[in-house]
Every structure is written in structure tokens, then in C-alpha cells.
Amino acid sequence: MGFPQLFPGIFGPPQGPPSFGPPAGPPSGPPTGAQGGPPSGPPPSFVPQQQQASLFAVDPGSMRGCLFRYTYVWLNNRQQFWFYPIFLGRRSVAGWRWTGFRWVYFGIDLRQIQSFTCF
């Protein structure tokens, strides 16, 4: 007497090759291609004045208009920098951060952003 096939693959060979979906979340490394690379030059040479900081977390929709634009970011931990966002997820943003000398690929949770402005 055999066992019913409640869990295919456990009591017999798999029924076909495993399937893998696309990865979830932001890209794991620097993207390639025309739209994914860093800006060709440095960001603007000025530091914009911070507008009134929000008491709420940054909403992904509010940052959508800053994709592929120079964006100045103020974090909750008082860090601030130029950023060039290229990916916006539900809870994170990724792109290129200016170190003062070059662009480096960078991602951050939206809850860590106090405010931002883009140009």
C-alpha cells in the first residue's frame, strides 16, 4: 500500500525542474546600461537649504519625481549628501551617492531619510 502524493517530490522524483522567480527588493549591485550608471559628472557645487523636515517617514511616491535627478538628502542621523536615485522600492531607494570625489552605488531604507530635495 503506497502513500498518497500529498507532497510531490518527497516520496518520489521531482515533477520537473525547479522554477525561480525574479529577485525581490532593490538590485544587489551597481546596474549596467545607459539608465543605470552614475551621472557623468559631479553634482551641483552648492548645498541646498533644507526645507522643514517631515515628522513622518518619506513616502516612495514623494521621491518618484527625483529618479534620475540630482537629489540632496538629509538623514535622521544628521548625515547629508548628494544622491542620484535610479531605483525606488516600497521601502527603499538605491542609486549613486557622491563621496566628494566620485559616485558610489548606495541603497537606504526610506525611513532613514528625514528630508530631500531634487533638481
Q: What is the per-residue pLDDT across 3-51, written as a single tens digit (0 to 9) for each?
A: 444 444 444 454 544 444 444 454 566 665 557 899 999 999 999 999 8
CATH of the domain at 114: 2.30.30
pLDDT of residue 32: 58
> Is 37 part of any domain?
no
pLDDT of residue 101: 97
Domain range for 98: 60-118
> Is 44 part of any domain?
no
pLDDT at 64 over 90: yes
Count of the separate structural domains present in the chain: 1
> Is 14 part of any domain?
no
> Is 29 part of any domain?
no
pTM higher than 0.85, yes or no?
A: no
Q: What is the pLDDT of residues 44-61, one digit of tens each?
A: 999 999 987 666 778 889
> Is 10 part of any domain?
no
Strands (E), 22-102: 71-75, 80-88, 92-98
> Is 114 part of any domain?
yes
> Is 109 part of any domain?
yes
3-state helix, strand, coil in the chain (%, to 5): 10, 30, 65
